[in-house]
Amino acid sequence: MSETPRPSTDAVVHDAGYEPPAGPTIPVEESEDSPRKRSVAEIQADNERRRAELGRTVDELADRVDPRAHVEAAKQRATDVAGEVTEVAKVKAGEVQEVAAAFVDDVKKREPRALAIVGGAVAALAAIIAISARKK
C-alpha cells in the first residue's frame, strides 16, 4: 500500500521573492503557467475569488431570464415609444393647424385654388350622400 504524499508545511519563496501566506503547500504540476507550488491559503483565496465570479455570473444569468425584468424593460420601451409618438403627434398637429389656418385664410380671400378644393369636397360629400340615400 503506497502512502499519499502529505503537503509540506515549510514556507517556500515563490516568483522572485513573493512570499505567499504561511501554511502547507500542495504540489502543482510544473508548467509555464504554474511553475511553483501553491500554498493552501493561495488555493483557498483562488477558490473564493472563483466562487465570487461564479456568483456574479449566476446573478447576471438570472437577471437575463427573469420575466419581471423583461416586463419592466418592455414597459420602459413602450413608455419611451409613447413619449416619442406623442412628441411627433404634437409637431404634426401644429403643422396641420398651420396649414388649415392658411387654407381658411385662402378661402376667405377667395383664392381660386382654395375655392376649387372646397367645391370638390362639397361635391364628393354630396355624391356620398346621394349614393347612400339610393341604397336605402
> Three-class SS of residue 83?
helix
Sorting pLDDT into bands at 50, 70 and 90, what band is 35?
low
Summarize the confidence of residues 103-112 as an average pLDDT: 92
Tell me what pLDDT residue 13 has. Answer: 44
| 8-25 pLDDT tens trace | 544 444 445 556 556 665
Instruction: Give CA–CA dist 100/105, Å, rounded.
Output: 9
Quick one: 41 and 87 in the same domain? no
Quick one: 71 and 116 in the same domain? yes
Task: Tell me how many domains the chain contains.
Answer: 2
Average pLDDT, the chain: 82
The set of cell numbers assigned to 109 is 380671400
Quick one: 51 and 78 in the same domain? no
Query: Is residue 22 within 8 Å of 9, Cβ to Cβ?
Result: no
Q: Which domain holds residue 123?
A: 67-135
Quick one: 49 and 77 in the same domain? no
Quick one: 92 and 124 in the same domain? yes
Quick one: 90 and 109 in the same domain? yes
Instruction: Give CA–CA dist 12/4, Å, rounded.
Output: 21
Quick one: 57 and 83 in the same domain? no
Quick one: 72 and 131 in the same domain? yes
| 50-88 pLDDT tens trace | 999 999 999 888 888 888 888 988 999 999 999 999 999
Does the predicted model carry a pTM greater than 0.75? Answer: no
